[in-house]
């Protein structure tokens, strides 16, 4: 049975409320149900302190507390599985559609029928059957060293296999879900065989074996260890907004290029959430999920963590806006997950560590 809700409760919240209405607990010691009043037991792999503002805003608007458990996505998925019918989890938030797909495959979500969410979240950024909804967008772009690369040389993800980029590309491991979803989008665009050829060509152009996260790729490009870095945009925005002068200098050295503007658009992934199938507080969880798609919460996501909002009309952070406007790939994010197994096989055969 679909969980339904037709009206958002608590709109107009003071998004920057300071009331401490959530509890940050380690997964092994979290306790639920204490205190008075309604709660949402939130399992989240978003490790951003700035999300606290969202929890505060929701409590200020509704009186509902957030009991928070933070861990890596796979740990949270396994925890909900092991807890079974007795799981206290109401809502699972994680980053990347690939991880939402993993939770979906474990039958952890219940379908939601919400006019609020269906109106606020674009169709390609939510599950076709309402199992999960995108909350923020994450563009995976080509970043370049301004001293060594003319952006006029750049065009598409596909062009990264050109021999002119040999020894010049920096990217993290294929074990990273962001890269798996990028490959999944390539499979959707070109099929498995052509994508494998692309992956082999990309590996041939690596400046070094993959190491570290997206920030490490950006720093390596600025240091001249390579010329191009594949990264999500918010990592560069963090460096630009850092209080550290060295980080700021790195950000100044790096340009942002949005690939595939002449065809399908730049690959965009999401962070997203779904109501857990066994949620003991399902109505409150849905109310919170709808709040996350409100302009108030979306503005916090955009300004505090430099992500793109999913809701039309919400302004992006000024630093992110400075990267420029772009055309995003309209592929439904659920495809990244369904293509994930094939993407893993392809990167393994291509020798992408």
Among left, alpha and beta (phi > 0; psi -120 to 50; other), residue 37 is left
Distance from C-alpha of 95 to C-alpha of 176, rounded to nearest angstrom:
12
Residues 124, 289 contacting (CB under 8 angstroms): no
Do the domains 3-137+270-316 and 138-266+323-349 sit in the same CATH topology, yes or no? yes
Q: How far is CA 36 from the centre of its chain?
A: 33
**Sequence spans of domains, the chain:** 3-137+270-316, 138-266+323-349
Distance from C-alpha of 9 to C-alpha of 92, rounded to nearest angstrom:
20
Distance from C-alpha of 226 to C-alpha of 211, rounded to nearest angstrom:
13
B/e letters for 190-204, b = 16+ CB within 10 Å, e = fewer, are eeeeebbebbbbbbe
pLDDT at 108: 98
Burial class (CB in 10 A: 0-12, 13-18, 19+), 209: exposed
Which residues touch 178 (CB under 8 Å, ≥6 apart)? 96, 138, 140, 172, 214, 232, 269
pLDDT at 37: 76
**DSSP-assigned beta bridge partners for residue 114:** 5
Radius of gyration of the chain (CA): 20
Report the 10 Å Cβ neighbour count for 89. Answer: 26
Distance from C-alpha of 120 to C-alpha of 195, rounded to nearest angstrom:
33
For 160, half-sphere exposure in the C-beta direction (CA atoms, 13 angstrom radius) is 31
Tell me, letter by letter, the H, E, C secondary structure of 148-208: CCCHHHCCCCHHHHCHHHCCCEECCCCCCHHHHHHHHHHHHHHCHHHHHHHHHHHHHCECC
pLDDT at 48: 83
pLDDT at 122: 98
Closest CA to 101 of 122, 132, 125: 132
Closest CA to 8 of 112, 111, 130, 116: 116
Each of the 353 residues of the chain gets a pLDDT tens digit; together they read 467 543 333 333 333 333 334 445 544 333 444 456 799 999 999 988 889 999 999 999 999 999 999 999 999 999 999 999 999 999 999 999 999 999 999 999 999 999 999 999 999 999 999 999 999 999 999 999 999 999 999 999 999 999 999 999 999 999 999 999 999 999 999 999 999 999 999 999 999 999 999 999 999 999 999 999 999 999 999 999 999 999 999 999 999 999 999 999 999 999 999 999 999 999 999 999 999 999 999 999 999 999 999 999 999 999 999 999 999 999 999 999 999 999 999 999 999 99
Q: What is the DSSP string of 295-317?
A: HHHHHHHHHHH-PEESSTTPPPP
Hunting for tokens 């990028």 — which residue is that? 182
Handedness of CA 303, 306, 307, 308 (dihedral sign): positive
Which residues touch 175 (CB under 8 Å, ≥6 apart)? none
Structural tokens at position 106: 């474990």
Distance from C-alpha of 42 to C-alpha of 280, rounded to nearest angstrom:
12
Structural tokens at position 287: 């109310």
Q: Classify domain 138-266+323-349 at the CATH class level.
A: alpha beta
Distance from C-alpha of 313 to C-alpha of 317, rounded to nearest angstrom:
13
pLDDT at 2: 65
Strands 268-275 and 228-232: unpaired
3-class SS of residue 96: coil
pLDDT at 25: 58
Residues 297, 134 contacting (CB under 8 angstroms): no
CATH fold, domain 3-137+270-316, is D-Maltodextrin-Binding Protein; domain 2 (3.40.190)
């Amino acid at each position: 049975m679909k969980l339904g809700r037709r009206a958002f409760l608590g709109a107009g919240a003071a998004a920057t409320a300071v009331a401490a209405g959530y509890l940050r607990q380690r997964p092994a010691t979290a306790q639920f149900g204490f205190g008075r009043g309604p709660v949402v037991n939130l399992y989240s792999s978003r490790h951003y302190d700035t999300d606290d503002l969202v929890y505060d805003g929701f409590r200020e608007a509704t009186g509902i507390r957030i009991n928070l458990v933070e861990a890596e996505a796979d740990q949270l998925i396994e925890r909900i599985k092991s807890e079974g019918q007795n799981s206290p989890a109401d809502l699972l938030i994680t980053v990347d559609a690939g991880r939402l797909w993993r939770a979906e495959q474990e039958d952890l979500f219940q379908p939601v029928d919400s006019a609020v969410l269906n109106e606020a979240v674009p169709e390609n950024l939510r599950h076709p059957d309402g199992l999960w909804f995108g909350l923020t967008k994450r563009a995976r772009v080509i970043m370049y060293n301004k001293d060594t690369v003319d952006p006029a040389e750049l065009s598409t993800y596909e062009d990264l296999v050109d021999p002119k980029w040999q020894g010049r590309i920096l990217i993290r491991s294929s074990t990273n879900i962001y890269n798996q979803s990028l490959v999944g989008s390539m499979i959707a665009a070109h099929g498995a065989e052509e994508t494998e050829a692309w992956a082999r060509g990309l590996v041939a152009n690596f400046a070094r074996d993959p190491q570290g996260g997206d920030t490490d790729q950006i720093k390596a490009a600025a240091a001249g260890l390579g010329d191009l870095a594949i990264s999500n945009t918010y990592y560069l925005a963090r460096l630009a907004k850092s209080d550290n002068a060295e980080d700021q200098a790195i950000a100044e050295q790096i340009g942002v290029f949005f690939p595939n503007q002449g065809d399908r658009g730049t690959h965009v992934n999401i962070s997203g959430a779904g109501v857990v199938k066994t949620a003991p507080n399902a109505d409150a969880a849905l109310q919170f999920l709808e709040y996350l798609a409100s302009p108030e919460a979306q503005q916090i996501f955009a300004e505090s963590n430099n992500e793109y909002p999913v809701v039309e009309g919400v302004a992006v952070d000024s630093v992110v806006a400075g990267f420029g406007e772009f055309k995003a790939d309209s592929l439904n994010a659920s495809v990244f997950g369904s293509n994930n197994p094939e993407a893993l096989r392809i990167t393994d055969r291509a020798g992408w560590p």
